[in-house]
Amino acid sequence: MTNDRVLTVVEDLERTLVEFIRKHGITHAEYRAATDLIIAEVEAGEASLLFDVFLEAAATDMDNHGRTGSIEAIEGPFYLPGAPWLEGPPYVMPQRPDEAGVPLIFHGRVTSETGRPLAEVEFDLWHADAAGQYSQIHPNIPDWNLRGRFRSDANGVFSVRTIAPPPYEIPKNGPTGTVLDALGRHFFRPAHLHVKLRHEYFGERTSQLYFPGGEYLDSDVANAVRDELVLDVTFVEGAAAADGKSSVDARYDFAFAPA
């Protein structure tokens, strides 16, 4: 950010908050409760969770405004750089031998906004396990479980095997949960896959994809679902699948304009 930009937005933020205090007759006790809440969020490691739940979708919408091709989505608080490169194809996400959850094939194609295939696109995929927990964030999960990088082929076609995540529930006993509780809101985000894509044509884009008909799709606590971010899903019944297991086939085609 340039110094001009900092002056403009920080001074307006200050004005906005001072006006807010006057408008609501915020008392000193309320002011201190608010600063204590932010400190509690930091101490609990939930500061980015709080901000991402309440504000990230609005900032992401600003970036998407006027864009041609696929939109971006909120990153959320649990991305970690440096996920392992998967061996393949075929690609399989890092998982425990007994990883719970319905098998999921996530596949599709990456093109330019004009439909030109983009070769060797880097995918950086991360999502929750069947208990709704993320590796390196929640305890007792192997490092990099359900986090991995792989590439599309020369035609932009990609495919990876993983498990279907459930809806994500914000921790009930932390400060963010206290805030949601006080507002009478539920604690859930719909089931989702997080992914960053990288290619010299479009740079780096962050997406997040949801399952059609999924619970909380219309009431995401982070208000981050957009129609354009819903996967094309086919449920493959056990008997019809080659290995006899039920699975989910989830397709998404990305079309990104240059950065």
**Closest Cα to residue 151, out of 116, 199, 111?**
199
Judged by CB, which is closer to ligand MBD: 209, or 255? 209
CB of 155 to ligand MBD, least distance (A): 30
Residue 166 interacts with Fe ion (CB under 5 A): yes or no: no
CB of 49 to ligand MBD, least distance (A): 5
Contact 149, 84 (CB under 8 A): yes
Binding site partner of 49, from Fe ion, ligand MBD, none, Cβ cut-off 5-8 A by kind: ligand MBD
Judged by CB, which is closer to ligand MBD: 54, or 201? 54
Judged by CB, which is closer to ligand MBD: 141, or 157? 141
Q: What's the CA gap between 65 and 89, in Å, rounded?
A: 35
Which residues neighbour 52 within 8 Å (Cβ) at sequence distance 6 or greater? 74, 75, 76, 77, 222
Binding site partner of 77, from Fe ion, ligand MBD, none, Cβ cut-off 5-8 A by kind: ligand MBD
Q: Which amino acid is it at 72?
A: E
Contact 75, 206 (CB under 8 A): yes
Residue ranges binding ligand MBD (CB under 6 A)? 49, 52-53, 74, 76-78, 168, 189, 222
Residue of this chain nearest to ligand MBD (CB atom):
76
Q: Dump strand ranges (E) for 13-156.
A: 91-92, 103-112, 122-126, 147-151
CB of 137 to Fe ion, least distance (A): 10
Strands 103-112 and 157-163: antiparallel
Residue of this chain nearest to Fe ion (CB atom):
76
Judged by CB, which is closer to ligand MBD: 129, or 254? 129
Q: b/e string for 70-79 if b means 16 or more Cβ within 10 A?
A: bbbbbbbbbe
Residue 214 interacts with Fe ion (CB under 5 A): yes or no: no
Stretch that binds Fe ion, among 28-36, 74-82, 112-120, 172-180 (CB under 5 A): 74-82
Judged by CB, which is closer to Fe ion: 117, or 177? 177
**Which two tokens mark 250?**
């989830």
CB of 41 to ligand MBD, least distance (A): 13
Can you list the alpha helix ranges (DSSP code H) found in the chain?
A: 3-24, 28-43, 47-51, 57-64, 175-183
Residue 76 interacts with Fe ion (CB under 5 A): yes or no: yes
Residues forming the site for Fe ion (CB under 5 A): 76
